[in-house]
Amino acid sequence: MPSKTRTGFGYDIHRLEAGRRLVLGGVDIPHPAGLLGHSDGDALVHAVIDALLGALAEGDIGALFPDTDPRYKGARSLGLLETVMGRLRARGAAVVNVDAVIVAEEPKMGPHIPAMRAALAPVLGLPETAVGLKAKTNEGLGPVGERRAIACFAVALLSWPD
Ligand code: MG
């Protein structure tokens, strides 16, 4: 175990809106509704970014990529993650692993999880075996259960070489 490690935690939720693209983990998922957002609305990548920034104690995604900044309108969230990885590497850190949960009533996420792990792993500098990803429903409860939103949670472990 390296002498210095840090964990970080991230959460995000976006509203679902009919007719928008649904992008999660950098993957386009066929669905009649997508996530509303200034960027592509990829709540999974946003939760992962906040986990990484949390481990660095560098605030959150909104401070780094303000939703008032036209540069980030429609931005590909995987690109934002690449920017965060640059900051992380500049701090001398590497990601050890990431684990995340998608909470969505529909569509079924299971078939898309391999593609999401394959999209996230290279950006994080990790093998796919170090990118955990699960999906569950909210059992019909609350805005996620009522199909009005999708929420994501993520944790990350960072290490600094001795
Ligand atoms: Mg977000």
- Cα 37 to ligand 1 centre (Å): 7
Q: What is the pLDDT of residues 98-146, one digit of tens each?
A: 999 999 999 999 999 999 999 999 999 999 999 999 999 999 999 999 9
Question: How far is 80 from 120, CA to CA, in rounded Å?
Answer: 12
For position 5, what pLDDT does the model report? 97
DSSP secondary structure code for residue 128 in this structure: G
Here the tokens at position 32 are 């009649």
- At position 107, the amino acid (one-letter code) is P
- Cα 140 to ligand 1 centre (Å): 22
Q: What is the pLDDT of residues 54-102, one digit of tens each?
A: 999 999 999 999 888 888 888 899 999 999 999 999 999 999 999 999 9
Mean pLDDT score, 1-7: 84
**CB neighbours (10 Å) of residue 67?**
12
What element of type H or E holds 132?
strand 131-136
For position 60, what pLDDT does the model report? 94
Domain 4-160 CATH (choose: 3.40.1280.10, 3.30.1330.50, 1.10.760.10, 2.60.40.10)? 3.30.1330.50
Using a 10 angstrom Cβ sphere, with 0-12 exposed, 13-18 middle and 19 or more buried, the burial of residue 34 is: buried
- Cα 109 to ligand 1 centre (Å): 19
Examine the pLDDT at 1 and tell me if it is beyond 70: no
Question: How far is 108 from 146, CA to CA, in rounded Å?
Answer: 15
For position 74, what pLDDT does the model report? 84
For position 75, what pLDDT does the model report? 87
- The answer, yes or no, to whether the previous bond of 107 is cis (omega within 30 of 0) is yes
pLDDT bin (cut points 50, 70, 90) of residue 2 is low
Examine the pLDDT at 33 and tell me if it is beyond 90: yes
Q: What is the pLDDT of residues 20-30, one digit of tens each?
A: 999 999 999 99
- Cα 93 to ligand 1 centre (Å): 24
- Cα 14 to ligand 1 centre (Å): 6
- Cα 4 to ligand 1 centre (Å): 29
- Cα 43 to ligand 1 centre (Å): 5
